[in-house]
Chain A
Amino acid sequence: MAKSAAPKKKQSKANKTFDKAIKKTLTNQKAPLEGLDLSEEKLIQIYRQMLLIRRFEEKAAQMYGMEKIMGFCHLYNGQEAVAVGANAAMHETDYMLTAYRDHGHALVKGITANEVMAELFGKVTGCSRGKGGSMHLFDAEKRMMGGHAIVGGHIPLAAGFAFGSKYKAEQDVTVCFFGEAAANQGVFHETLNMAALWKLPVVYICENNRYGMGTAFERAFAVWDIYERASAYNMPRDVVDGMDVLDMYRKTKEAVDRARYEHIPTFLEARTYRFRGHSMSDPIHGHYRTKEEVEEMKAKDPIINFGELLKKENIFSEEQMKEMDDEIKKIVNESIEFAEKSEEPPLEDLYTDVIVE
Chain B
Amino acid sequence: MAIITWREALNQAMAEEMERDENVFIMGEEVGVYQGAYKVTAGLLQRFGEKRVIDTPIVEASFTGIGIGAAMVGLRPIVEMMTFNFSILAMDQIFNNAAKMRYMSGGQFKVPMVIRGPNGAAHGLAATHSQSFESFYSHVPGLYVIAPSTPADAKGLLKSAIRDDNPVIFLESEVMYGQKGEVPEEEYTIPIGVSDVKREGKDVTVVTWSKMYYIVQKAADELKEEDIDVEIIDPRTIRPLDDSKIIESVKKTNRLVVVEEGWPFASVSSEIITRVHQKAFDYLDAPIERVNQADVPMPYAANLEKASLPNVERVKKAIKKVLYIEE
Give the CA-CA distance A190 to B29 in the complex, in Å.
Answer: 14
B75 within 8 A of A: yes
Q: Which of A159-186 contact B (CB under 8 A)?
A: 159-165, 167-168, 186
Cβ-neighbour of A132 out of B56, B96, B105, B112 (below 8 A)? B105
Chain B residues lying within 8 Å of A136, measured Cβ to Cβ, are: 104-105
Contact status A167-B141, CB under 8 Å:
no
A208, CB-defined interface residue at 8 Å? no
**Contact across chains for B103 and A156 when beta carbons are under 8 A apart:** no
A162 to B103, CA, bound (A): 23
Task: Report the Cα distance A190→B57, complex, angstroms.
Answer: 9
**B243 → chain A closest CB, angstroms:** 18
Q: Which residue of A lies closest to B112 (CB)?
A: A356
- Interface contact A160-B70, CB-CB below 8 Å: yes
- A160 to B72: give the CA distance in the assembly, Å: 8
From B64, B74, B107, give the contact of A353 (CB < 8 A): B107
Residues of B within 8 A of A159 (CB): 62, 65-66, 69
Which residues of chain A have C-beta atoms less than 8 A from B51's C-beta? Answer: 167
Does B62 lie within 8 Å of A128, measured CB to CB? Answer: no
Q: Out of A127, A140, A356, which one reaches B166, CB within 8 Å?
A: A356
What residues of A have a CB within 8 angstroms of the CB of B57 in the complex? 190, 193-194, 197
Contacts of A162 in B (CB 8 A): 69
Known: A167-B51, A186-B61, A187-B61. A160 touches B104 (CB 8 A): no
* In-complex Cβ contact of A354 among B25, B102, B112, B165 (8 A): B102
Chain A contacts for B96, CB-based, 8 A:
150, 153
Taken together as a complex, chains A and B put the C-alpha atoms of A291 and B55 apart, in Å, by: 51
Residues of B within 8 A of A145 (CB): 72
CA gap between A305 and B51 in the complex, in Å: 48
For B106, give its contact among A164, A194, A353, A355 (CB under 8 Å).
Answer: A353
**Residue B73 is within 8 A (CB to CB) of chain A in the complex:** yes
Contact A161 B72, beta carbon cutoff 8 Å: yes
**A163-B69 in contact given A131-B106, A138-B105, A154-B97 (Cβ < 8 Å):** yes
Interface residues of B in 82-99 (CB under 8 A from A): 92-93, 96-97
How far does the Cβ of A232 sit from chain B's closest Cβ, in whole Å?
Answer: 14
Cβ-defined contact, B106 with A128, below 8 A: yes
Chain A nearest CB, measured from B87 CB (Å): 14
Cβ 8 A contact of A355, one of B71, B74, B144: B144
Instruction: Check if B108 sits within 8 Å of A138, measured CB to CB.
Output: yes
- Chain A minimum-CB-distance residue to B51: A167
> B73 near A95 (CB under 8 angstroms)?
yes
**B68 in the interface (beta carbon within 8 A):** yes
A156 and B64 alpha carbons, distance in the complex (Å) = 8
A257 on interface, CB distance cutoff 8 Å:
no
Taking the closest CB of chain B, its distance from the CB of A160, in whole angstroms, is 2
Residues on A with beta carbons closer than 8 Å to the beta carbon of B92 = 150, 153
A164–B65 Cα distance when bound, in Å, is: 12
Q: Is A43 an interface residue (CB 8 A)?
A: no
Q: How far is the CB of B264 from chain A (nearest CB, A)?
A: 27
Pick the contact of A155: B65, B67, B73, B106 (CB < 8 A): B65
Q: Is the CB of B97 within 8 A of A153?
A: yes
B192 to chain A minimum Cβ distance, whole angstroms, is: 10
The CA-CA distance from A157 to B63 in the complex, in Å, is 9
Q: Which B residues touch A168, using CB under 8 A?
A: 74-75
**0/1 interface trace, chain B 157-194, chain A, CB 8 Å (1 if under):** 00000001110000000000000000000000000000
Q: For the complex, what is the distance from the CA of A226 to the CA of B73, rounded to whole Å?
A: 30
A193→B63 CA distance, assembly (Å): 11
Identify which of residues 84-113 in chain A touch chain B, using a CB-to-CB cut-off of 8 Å. Answer: 95
Contact A131 B104 (CB under 8 A): yes
Question: Are A156 and B93 CB-contacts (below 8 A) given A191-B66, A194-B59?
Answer: yes
From A143, which residue of chain B is reached at the shortest CB distance?
B73
Min CB distance, B97 to chain A, in Å?
6
For residue A352, which residues in chain B have a CB less than 8 angstroms away from its CB?
Answer: 107
Task: Please tell me which one of the listed residues B64, B93, B97, B105 contacts residue A128 in the complex, with CB atoms under 8 A apart.
Answer: B105
Q: How far is the CB of B304 from chain A (nearest CB, A)?
A: 33
Q: Does B38 contact A (CB under 8 A)?
A: no
A157-B106 contact, Cβ under 8 Å, with A165-B73, A167-B25, A355-B166? no
With CB as the reference atom, state the residue of chain B lying closest to A188: B62
Question: Which residues 110-157 of A sit at the B interface, judged by CB distance below 8 A?
Answer: 126-132, 136, 138-140, 145-146, 148, 150, 153-157
Measured CB to CB, the nearest residue on chain A to B71 is A160
Asked if A160 and B65 make an inter-chain contact with CB atoms under 8 angstroms apart, the answer reads yes
Docked CA distance A158–B62 (Å): 10
Interface pair A161/B73, CB less than 8 Å apart: yes
Write 21 A-B pairs (CB below 8 A) sorted by A numbering. Answer: A127-B106, A130-B106, A136-B105, A139-B108, A140-B105, A140-B109, A150-B92, A156-B65, A156-B66, A156-B69, A159-B66, A160-B69, A162-B69, A164-B72, A187-B65, A191-B65, A194-B56, A194-B62, A353-B106, A355-B142, A356-B112
Residue positions of A touching B, CB distance < 8 A = 95, 126-132, 136, 138-140, 145-146, 148, 150, 153-165, 167-168, 186-187, 190-191, 193-194, 197, 352-356
Beyond A128-B105, A164-B70, 9 additional contacts (C-beta under 8 Å) are A136-B104, A138-B104, A138-B108, A138-B109, A155-B65, A160-B68, A164-B74, A167-B70, A186-B61
Query: Which residues of B come within 8 Å of A, CB atoms?
Result: 25, 51, 56-57, 59, 61-75, 92-93, 96-97, 102-110, 112, 141-142, 144, 164-166
7 A-B pairs with least C-beta separation:
A160-B69, A156-B65, A129-B106, A353-B107, A164-B73, A190-B62, A138-B105
